[in-house]
Structure 1
């Protein structure tokens, strides 16, 4: 298997599908660091070289695991990490810090955990409502001039916030939730990115596992982050499992899996908007990395895309427990 590359932004060429390394930390249940590292190596082996992590994932554990891979394979990888979330998002004890001082402190701590001198793409994980985005991005731009960061990104910014940030320093990529069942970013964020020539990085492209063949509500344990998301509430799941069933019907028609259809659909939509887009599905298992990468060979008909387009209106529950936490609540 060979994964092609995409120019996500000028000077930033990455694999056409990335890897979301939040899953190597125990946010969706127990994670074996050794197995996670083996999965990361397998991803890079098949050409999934765009690795996405964050300082908050497992309180630094994800960066540490990624760092073990980078010790031998830094030149093969396009590395993205994030800052700005503080506390523990898993238990709701969380906050946002976009102060310039925090920007500088965060990059140094991430570089140490990752064991590298420079990060290819550095994201503001969430926009701080108490700090003008111009101030935060101005401090991030200093990191570029210092040689610690090559490109800047934002996560869950609104179209207006993205435009304001881009006026301070070029933004290479915007990362937000985008999937068959989460399409609100298509109203303002995606068109703004396309207009400004900014790449899009969809996270949760298979809706935190919902849009996979393997999803089983019984596997959502007490420590699972999904317990904080309304779509996984007991009263919402029946309708949302019906939505997954509709995706599976398309998967059966194409000889693909549910996850592959969800990822292939994103490719169709990104091309329709005219912007480069690289989804970052996460998994702890090498076999799932192969499955996800197989989506790059899945072709959907126009009729199938139309059927999938209609499913977002059937979803029960918001995509975030706090609407202000994502761009949807501030648009």
Structure 2
């Protein structure tokens, strides 16, 4: 599998990774999916402390035990659970980041994290304080690089200007092209990589999965018509969609999720598909919507 440098960091990531949010909470099936992904050449595995209240990190940690040197491990921080209360609160403080990383390390069964990401970010945050936390962890060797997971242009611009982030995880697919207008060019110019999440739009762009509801900017019938037109370009919609997310030079890795081994294999097969031609990209953009961000300016 092709590997790309993540920003200006030393991390070399497989162009197709594994987003672990949809793995579920059972150890055996989650382990099978992660092991198969590694066997097929995936080295970038992304989780978060938020997923299933930490259970996801535990499953990932158990699955990569004995395989740690084969994995670029990414997790996230910022959503703090309060004991005895439902849900969580947002906390991007330095004190919390430094405390939460220890808990993630314990759940993941490792003594370092390759990519530690702020799981969101608000313009009202004390951004300098958050950056201080990540820089301290990097200097201490607890993390190798850091980034943010955000679709807020105003937050992204602040971190680009003020930090040494290696990456921005951003929702990017044929049906969610909001990042193309302002975010992707900025990150490309700044040598910061994009981790494209949702390349299949929660299955809306997956082969053999008929959508039952619309997605961002598309009513159900519009989505069905788009799928039909896309399949005229390539009948394997899954692979076409993943290759589109990888077609922008700012994108280093796309991270589709997988609930089954079959879905995983379909996703990873996109690595064997040639890069889209400029003509194919133009056709996809002509039949899809160039939606843009309207909030968080």
Could you tell me the TM-score, scaled by structure 2's length? 0.89
CA contact (8 A) 2:6 2:12 kept: yes
Question: Are 1:239 and 2:222 an aligned pair?
Answer: yes
The residue that corresponds to 2:282 in the other structure is 306
Q: CA deviation at 1:202?
A: 0.5
Residues 104-119 of structure 1: matches in 2 within 5 Å?
Answer: 104-119=98-113
How many corresponding residue pairs?
Answer: 292
Q: Unaligned regions of 5+ residues in structure 1, if any?
A: 26-30, 219-226, 319-326
Q: Which moved more, 1:189-198 or 1:294-303?
A: 294-303
Q: CA deviation at 1:277?
A: 2.0
Could you tell me the TM-score, scaled by structure 1's length? 0.80
Among 199, 214, 222, which residue is 1:205 paired with? Answer: 199
The residue that corresponds to 1:195 in the other structure is 189
The residue that corresponds to 1:221 in the other structure is none
The residue that corresponds to 1:142 in the other structure is 136
For 2:67, what is the secondary structure of its paired residue?
helix
The residue that corresponds to 1:330 in the other structure is 296
Q: For the residues of structure 1 that align with 2:37 and 2:266, how far apart are their CA atoms?
A: 11
CA contact (8 A) 1:20 1:283 kept: yes
Q: Which has the higher helix share?
A: 1
Q: Which moved more, 1:158-167 or 1:51-60?
A: 158-167
Q: For the residues of structure 2 that align with 1:21 and 1:243, how far apart are their CA atoms?
A: 27
Q: Unaligned regions of 5+ residues in structure 2, if any?
A: none
CA contact (8 A) 1:134 1:165 kept: no
The residue that corresponds to 1:277 in the other structure is 252
CA contact (8 A) 1:134 1:164 kept: no
CA shift digits 1:59-104 (9 cap, x unpaired): 111111100122111011000000112459xxx9554221112111
Q: CA deviation at 1:263?
A: 1.0
Q: CA deviation at 1:160?
A: 4.6
Q: CA deviation at 1:232?
A: 8.1
